[in-house]
């Protein structure tokens, strides 16, 4: 029998090969999201914290597209399991066992992300532009995101400090990576990979770390101790909105913690929502930082607290999720009101920030009620989302009630100082 014999570089990867490699990339990318979320609350450096939030959100988007592509290639098979890649995955996750957040971020930026970039580029070089075009499109976008992340990490890590333990761990991590070899992520699965020396088993921080370059208070603004004090008017309302926005770093941390606590038991869509939630709250923090910086505030003039995150320290993961849900649902109605007030007073930028914040918060209240309901049903609990929210509110109020005279005086002094600064700016 006569055949046309055709060997072509286009034919390097058959569908099964592609599905296997992309499944591995999906799992590695997903673990990257979890590792970054895990380090977010316990990392003091604010630039790193904010960079983690943005990068884990982008990574979650890449993971989602990779997963979708694996399902397409294996249709109708729905199961995605590590199988022979378990040892590689365990090794990869071991990179979170860093001595501190700054070291982890350096390892992430100098080892893990470049490794992913290299793997995606290798896949692009091997794959067929015709038959595998959908994968090539998603990997090209993933590479563009990772390239942009690389530039952002260079900026975020500029002032990052870590001690000798961090330096030793980092050189160990780089050496382990080099020993594993360039083809590690796309190569044949190994039974074991070069160990990283000096690992410290990772544990997520249940009390949020704060950047020492900023002002640290038990409560960042008077109405965070006593809501009866009210938000104020005019300039006070403008500064208050910016300080409260900056302090939404706690919600960034709580979304990250909830992601880490619940992702293993959740459907993949939870990772998408929690990562987006985390990133949105980090943008709200940035809104506040940008406004305060424009008002002439230096980092040392900007007050931060942690009580909303710390209130979850002793709670179960669902009630921690309830804490964000409580804040979102209690204060969402103020956002459009404030946007209108700022617009009317000629502060278009504060109005603009509040307008977009409100759009985000509408999605977040849906995330909160949807996922609380899901996890409660999954656990067979009889509690309703509103009962979880009430327990969350009590935990927050317990910490507010612990404010001593010293805390109240410190918050008031910081408030007076902030308003004096803002008045000088307003009158200049």
For Fe ion, the binding residues (CB under 5 A) are: 248, 281, 284, 361, 364
Q: Are 60 and 276 in contact (CB under 8 A)?
A: yes
Q: Are 244 and 276 in contact (CB under 8 A)?
A: no
In the complex, what is the shortest distance from the CB of residue 130 to Fe ion, in angstroms, rounded to a whole number? 44
Question: Between residues 49 and 284, which has the closer beta carbon with respect to Fe ion?
Answer: 284
Contacts with 303 (C-beta within 8 Å, 6 or more apart), sequence order: 214, 215, 216, 217, 220, 221, 243, 411, 414, 418
Question: Between residues 100 and 361, which has the closer beta carbon with respect to Fe ion?
Answer: 361
Question: Between residues 120 and 307, which has the closer beta carbon with respect to Fe ion?
Answer: 307
Question: Between residues 248 and 253, which has the closer beta carbon with respect to Fe ion?
Answer: 248
In the complex, what is the shortest distance from the CB of residue 365 to Fe ion, in angstroms, rounded to a whole number? 8
Question: Between residues 132 and 361, which has the closer beta carbon with respect to Fe ion?
Answer: 361
User: How many angstroms from the chain centroid is the CA of residue 395?
Assistant: 23
In the complex, what is the shortest distance from the CB of residue 209 to Fe ion, in angstroms, rounded to a whole number? 20
Question: Between residues 106 and 335, which has the closer beta carbon with respect to Fe ion?
Answer: 335
Q: Are 101 and 42 in contact (CB under 8 A)?
A: yes
Pairwise CA distance, residues 35 & 31, whole Å: 6
In the complex, what is the shortest distance from the CB of residue 301 to Fe ion, in angstroms, rounded to a whole number? 22
Which 3 state secondary structure label does DSSP give 304? strand
In the complex, what is the shortest distance from the CB of residue 276 to Fe ion, in angstroms, rounded to a whole number? 10
In the complex, what is the shortest distance from the CB of residue 357 to Fe ion, in angstroms, rounded to a whole number? 6
In the complex, what is the shortest distance from the CB of residue 241 to Fe ion, in angstroms, rounded to a whole number? 12
Give the C-alpha distances (Å, rounded to integers) separating 184 from 115, 119, 177, 222.
Answer: 9, 9, 9, 54
Phi, psi of 304 (to 5 degrees): -125, 145
Pairwise CA distance, residues 351 & 339, whole Å: 4
Phi, psi of 303 (to 5 degrees): -85, 140
Pairwise CA distance, residues 124 & 112, whole Å: 19
Question: Between residues 104 and 250, which has the closer beta carbon with respect to Fe ion?
Answer: 250
């Amino acid at each position: 029998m006569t055949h046309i014999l055709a060997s072509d570089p286009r034919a390097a990867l058959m569908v099964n090969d592609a599905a296997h490699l992309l499944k591995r990339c999906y799992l590695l990318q997903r673990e990257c999201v979890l590792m970054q979320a895990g380090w977010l609350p316990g990392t003091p450096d604010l630039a790193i914290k904010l960079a983690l939030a943005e990068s884990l959100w982008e990574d979650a988007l890449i993971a989602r597209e990779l997963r979708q592509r694996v399902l397409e290639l294996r249709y109708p098979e729905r199961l995605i399991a590590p199988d022979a890649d378990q040892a590689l995955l365990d090794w990869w996750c071991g990179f979170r066992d860093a001595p501190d957040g700054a070291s982890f971020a350096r390892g992430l930026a100098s080892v893990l992300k470049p490794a992913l970039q290299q793997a995606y580029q290798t896949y692009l070089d091997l794959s067929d532009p015709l038959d595998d075009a959908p994968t090539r499109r998603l990997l090209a976008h993933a590479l563009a995101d990772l390239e942009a992340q690389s530039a952002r990490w260079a900026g975020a890590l500029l002032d990052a400090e870590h001690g000798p333990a961090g330096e030793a761990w980092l050189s160990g991590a780089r050496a382990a990576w080099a020993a594993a070899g360039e083809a590690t992520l796309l190569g044949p699965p190994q039974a074991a990979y070069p160990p990283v020396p000096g690992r410290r088993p990772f544990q997520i921080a249940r009390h949020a770390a704060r950047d020492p370059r900023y002002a640290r208070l038990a409560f960042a603004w008077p109405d965070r101790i006593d809501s009866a004090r009210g938000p104020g008017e005019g300039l006070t309302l403008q500064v208050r909105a910016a300080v409260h926005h900056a302090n939404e770093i706690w919600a960034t941390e709580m979304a990250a913690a909830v992601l880490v606590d619940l992702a293993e038991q959740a459907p993949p869509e939870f990772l998408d929502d929690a990562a987006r939630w985390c990133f949105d709250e980090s943008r709200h923090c940035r809104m506040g930082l940008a406004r305060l910086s424009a008002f002439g505030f230096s980092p040392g003039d900007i007050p931060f607290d942690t009580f909303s995150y710390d209130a979850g320290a002793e709670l179960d993961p669902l009630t921690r999720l309830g804490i964000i849900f409580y804040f979102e649902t209690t204060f969402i109605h103020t956002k459009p009101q404030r946007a209108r007030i700022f617009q009317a007073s000629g502060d278009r930028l504060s109005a603009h920030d509040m307008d977009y914040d409100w759009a985000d918060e509408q999605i977040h209240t849906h995330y909160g009620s949807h996922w609380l309901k899901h996890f409660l049903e999954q656990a067979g609990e009889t509690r309703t989302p509103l009962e979880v929210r009430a327990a969350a509110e009590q935990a927050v109020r317990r910490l507010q009630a612990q404010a001593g005279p010293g805390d109240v005086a410190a918050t008031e002094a910081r408030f007076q100082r902030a308003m004096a600064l803002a008045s000088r700016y307003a009158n200049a």
